Chains A and B, each alone.
Chain A
Amino acid sequence: MNEPGAIPAAAPLLSVRGLCKHFPVLSRGFRRPSSEWVKAVDNVNFDIAQGETLGLVGESGCGKTTTARCALRAIDPTAGEVFFRLPDGRVVDLARLSAGELKPVRRHVQMIFQDPVSSLNPRMTVRDIVGEPLVIHGLARGDELETRVAEVLARVGLKPEHRTRYPHAFSGGQRQRIGIARAIIMRPSLIVCDEATSALDVSVQAQVLDLLKELQREFRLTYLFVAHNLDVVRNFCDRVAVMRKGRIVELAPTPQIFAAPQHAYTRILLSAVPSPDPDVKMNFNVGEELAKLDAAE
């Protein structure tokens, strides 16, 4: 249990076991029979402790987003278990709950999306967007709803008068703050951040990451942080899982991933990152190295 990267000693908040998601490859023709399957997620295992941030990194198409979506049951996994510990201590398998059983659990698991434009309904005011989760779960209405929305907006650095405005009136960074407000208003224990800062400029990205860190301390949040930017992950995550072709190839504490990567793929991925230090030369040859890795498998 003390091995780095292994299951955290305390009972984990989220425990994913043997998670698989296979998509059918449809053939041509009227009935489109499928004879082949794409293994988008292929036997993935990981745990996240309460208050921890686990980074899930990899290239596009490696299955990191599909893994995150299966973990919070936004889509149904093909196989595997997703054990989630509720605030009252009960452990449920998100993968097996029925729709009715799932709804009360959902308030504890929230998501922040990559695209600050498409993830906010342009026809809804900020008040309606941020307050909607409370309405759906019947947790607040009237004055109480109004107060809680104002509180949470203030907490993410927006002004009370922003409530009546529409998403188009905000910058990318501010929109992402609206998305964060919508997630934390439910006081969830787990938040899945799917490329939450990828669309932002570096200085805005740094501000949003700082906000997420503060909120984590304040509300004891646990993050599953899906990203392709290794620079962001390095600073933000406690442990990192590197995914490739639907599998986790390496899972270790962040300093170890960056200082002493074990898997050849992790090493290639790290070498491809352009360093802002002109004396640290990046590897332009990753194409050939990846091809060699493929051939060796």
Chain B
Amino acid sequence: MVKPPSERPLEGIISIHSELSPMASNEYEPGRPTEEEVTLTRMLDKVLRRSDAVDKESLCVLAGQRVWHIRLTIHVLSDAGNMVDCACLAGIVALKHFRRPEVEVEGDEVTIHHPSERAPVPLSMHHTPFCLTFAFFQDTPPLLDPSRLEQTLSAGLLSVALNAQKELCVVQKAGGVPLAAEEVLGIMDIAVVKARELDKLVEACLLEDWKGRVVEIR
């Protein structure tokens, strides 16, 4: 729990950190952030933070004085291609799974209830964006979820982040092989279907996990 910055007194803070260690793949070296790392952090920032997935105002406890600060760290254990999608999915599932301790405000008094006293509450989420990456080649049709080899050989990548309600959050295609407009729009249609599938999968997994955590009521 921290004091909010003066320009946004009513919003909580989410900070995202990603760690790419040489453990993930032999292509990464410690030291200066590489271009790949910049892309990853920017994409995570856009998908998880700028798309307003988490209701930041709900993280406010006392306006201008105390807000929750959520720190999300993504450790890349191993990278076999398409790390961005995987990192975004891990991030959004972590946010959905996370439970914060409940707080009570009486006047200016803030009491934080320990998880053993009161059941922690989930974060309020506006929507759940999923990131999907397509790889393009000179003369073969585009591939979804490229492996490392495919990614290295590809002539361009297109990342789309969207939720199950058919709302696009992020579209990112920087350079690479030029595409016709119809191709881009065709990709969107595929992405819509895939995002629905992912959404169902995530919901099912979270539900199953939740069943395993029986809340004891005394």
Specify whether A and B are partners: no
Please report A residues at the B interface, Cβ cutoff 8 Å: none
